[in-house]
A = this chain, B = another copy of it.
């Protein structure tokens, strides 16, 4: 499982070609995962859709886990909003960005596809890492007010306000639902944080 990251070459233009191949394959692998599911994410299918030979794919991404890893680079590029220091505004902005990621990148389908595929150990590791990274900003913000089991609960609860409706009903929450969720958590946080300061 060693995805190619460019590499040395004497030929001029080859680096640029490799960069372009990587970008094409990443985008196509991502599209296959989201549109057709994890079962469809094979070398044959990505080669067909991206217009590359299977040999090229096997050379740079020998295993299906490598294809999963490169597909998920698209998710890694997901831009989180910059924190302003206003905890309510920052949490609302994070959840609004997550909702936009469901609409634009179909993060809900990425989540369910990876959950289905996580019976494979290497996929599970990639999945866990991607999801930890995705939750990090919200965890960092909430860690200012919560700790221990309350922190874990609050992170899952705010993730759930976007993840649950999209996975369970194919819908996303309105602004007022996102704001209500943040206020429910922060109402408690004010007490918890006063308690923490003592």
Contacts and interface: CB of A to CB of B under 8 A. Distances in A.
Interface residues of A, number: 51
B184 A157 contact: yes
A81 interface: no
A93 to B, nearest CB: 17
Contacts of A178: 153
Question: Most B CB atoms within 10 A — which of A115, A128, A170?
Answer: A115
A55 interface: no
Contact of A161 (B128, B132, B156): B156
A168 B127 CA distance: 7
Contacts of A173: 152-153, 156
Contacts of A158: 157, 160
Given A164-B160, A169-B128, A184-B185, A179 B149 contact: yes
A22 interface: no
A171 to B, nearest CB: 9
Contact of A168 (B116, B131, B174, B177): B131
